[in-house]
Structure 1
């Protein structure tokens, strides 16, 4: 049996490739090796046993060639960034999903399963509860409140600070281009898959971390940024007040989630959260990381914030756990495995500095107005 992994040279896709090969499947990878993710070209960790096609998921004939003869598809290719590349988000993440299904239907190919990588981002700010006025789904936080250092989500009726609820698959409320593109991809896969009899599944990944996470992509996030600063003797810089709650999941648990839904027909035409099952504040994350690295540093909280960030994002994984999956690794495991890998990668501090400069230049990262 042959599987196609789009974006298979990337962080999640490459780990899926390793698992499929270990299970005895033939693997084909389609990846365009984006320069900002793979500045040194094809990574050495790509297994020699996997067939590799260099190409873009937005090109129909390239995608058709990659799909020919496969029964399983892991659509992991994605454009991720904080820059205002709105059309690129939609063409890469959503239109490619439509194109993939379009080719399958045109050719009349029978595929066993299509698994689409979605994201926790589709929830936007998620769902909140006001003690007086009940549940609500907020829009993006008011830029004026953020500029004043007022971080928490408040009830639109009474202005009281509201309680963040766990993210539930029944909800979605995307508020930025990346999130919109991911929800569009998800709906395309699930609705058209059901209509045309193609088994499809969407996995809404929480913040996935572990070895091979790009050191060069500014979207790679907190683990990469904090590690690089500490390795260079600099304290982690926390956005907002550092009390944001997040949900981190180990790459091995994400791979296991893909394997679970691949082999379980109960997953077909449904979306599932894939998270670590534990809320961690950014302050706590920084503390654990600094201790793990043996550094004597204190995090800095200068009043910076990133426009479009959510205040709290923690996923409810009950639906996926009902199929038999559960997260088996915690934050300590994530940091142990990531640090062991990142220390082998040489000096990459310059890439972080440039990414930070770009985000500030575009007004993505801002500072509280005195």
Structure 2
């Protein structure tokens, strides 16, 4: 097939391109190459050397879609805006409007691709699913956004609104959605556009809700792009890894290689069509434990710090159930230590590797996105 990958010069996109080429497909990439993710504003040489048809264009531009979609058999729409900045309209213009434009051009051109796969996010769950063991029958709870006054007082954990006791986070399946920030709202909007218009116009579509994806080729310059990047930069610079809140937040980190296998599954498996599907790591890992793992793999002797910083709109715990993906034959395979070791080896070999975390934190502080609890 000829497959279009938007955002194909980026982190998940470039790994997906590699896998598609390995399967023998012709690949076209549409990418705007905008900073800070692409400070050099050029396509990676490894894409050009392998004959990938690379188009510079913005997914918010109809003409860019018209050019990129010519004669394609499948689409991976991975281009997205991700950040913690309060430029809310950019999230919706980039993530939702671009997806609407994709389907608009497909319908008006009479194109019926074999598959459209869009990248959604675990962020759509907000605080996810909890269980209050103190309430009768162990009441299941889906909390709303934490209160600012609680965060400012370092009251990080969610408590049951009935009995006031702490609750236990559980795996969240695809049926519970409660986005709490602009990025999450835009991703939920994007997957709704894809699945609804896909069904309406007979365009087989899939939305994959990625958990926190880690691995090589993550940009060093994007404040959103990952805990592994942040910890690596600080630790290799001889600085303590800084955990937001108290470091006890639970996440399910997943390797980019496992995500790429899920992408290919969505491309080929008809059972994925019409569904939103969680793609997660299947393991509960605290932020502090992740920091300790990076310290260990880097051969350093540093202790994580938790000075009481918190980001507005962050969730306390969120864990994605992967039962639906498992029913289609997918499970994560890459151990967490392998993810970290691969990233460390890749990062130190990059000419632009360095610590930009301090500047990113200062920028988020100035905008009020990153705050310090009393």
TM exceeding 0.5? yes
Alignment of 1:172-251 (within 5 A): 172-251=177-256
Alignment partners' CA distance in 2, 1:50 and 1:9: 11
Conservation of the 8 A alpha-carbon contact between 1:276 and 1:330: no
Given candidates 105, 108, 131, the residue that maps to 2:107 is 105
Alignment partners' CA distance in 1, 2:341 and 2:229: 13
Tell me how far 1:314 sits from its aligned partner: 1.4
Tell me how far 1:364 sits from its aligned partner: 1.2
Q: Please give the per-residue CA displacement for 1:43-70, whole angstroms capped at 9, x wherever unaligned.
A: 3332431100001000001111101110
Are 2:29 and 1:29 equivalent residues in the alignment?
yes
Alignment partners' CA distance in 2, 1:11 and 1:82: 18
TM-score, normalised by the number of residues in structure 1: 0.98
Stretch deviating more after TM superposition (354-363 or 81-90): 354-363
Are 2:22 and 1:17 equivalent residues in the alignment?
no
Residue equivalent to 2:317: 312
Alignment partners' CA distance in 2, 1:13 and 1:121: 19
Alignment partners' CA distance in 2, 1:350 and 1:283: 20
Are 2:45 and 1:44 equivalent residues in the alignment?
yes
Tell me how far 1:305 sits from its aligned partner: 1.2
Alignment partners' CA distance in 1, 2:335 and 2:355: 30
Residue equivalent to 1:91: 93
Conservation of the 8 A alpha-carbon contact between 1:18 and 1:47: no
Tell me how far 1:350 sits from its aligned partner: 5.0
Q: Which runs of 5+ in 1 are unaligned?
A: none
Residue equivalent to 2:153: 148
> What SS does the aligned partner of 1:198 have?
coil
Given candidates 115, 121, 132, the residue that maps to 1:130 is 132
TM-score, normalised by the number of residues in structure 2: 0.97
Residue equivalent to 2:333: 328
Stretch deviating more after TM superposition (328-337 or 130-139): 130-139
Residue equivalent to 2:69: 67
> What SS does the aligned partner of 1:95 have?
helix
Q: Which runs of 4+ in 1 moved over 6 A?
A: none
Q: Which runs of 5+ in 2 are unaligned?
A: none
Tell me how far 1:353 sits from its aligned partner: 2.4
Q: Please give the per-residue CA displacement for 1:161-193, whole angstroms capped at 9, x wherever unaligned.
A: 112111211111001000000000001100110
Aligned length: 369
> What SS does the aligned partner of 2:224 have?
helix
